[in-house]
Structure 1
């Protein structure tokens, strides 16, 4: 006589669902950060002379903002009276 391994009351799920449940309970996914592309980093550092750390640390949108800030800071020039233009 063959013995039953599973009871009839338990819903039979696929191995994929079981695996998914296990992985979901073990590891909670963190927020994935988008990395800026190397070409963008090179372009930003070459054109605007922004340090690589600033560009690599931040995500694309933030990198664009930092580049804008640096370019704005370079554009502002002190006048004779000491005010920024």
Structure 2
């Protein structure tokens, strides 16, 4: 039986209703499988990157514009105490 945390997500919308570029951010599991997806309401690559940077937390995120890969954003780890 496959690991529940490593299942792929289905039914992700892939195009915008108004013809703008469709940016998607995918949250990945520890096995690099998609566990969540969100369509971003932005116009440019720079806006998409800024939006994803503000979303980074405990999970790896990947940013895509349709089939074009724009980047992988690693989790933000707290600095060790000094």
Same fold (TM over 0.5): no
Name the one with the larger helix percent.
Answer: 1
Higher RCO (Cα < 8 Å, 6 or more apart): 2
TM-score with structure 2 length normalisation?
0.28
Of Structure 1 and Structure 2, the greater strand share is in 2
Normalising by structure 1, we get a TM-score of 0.28
Larger Rg: 1
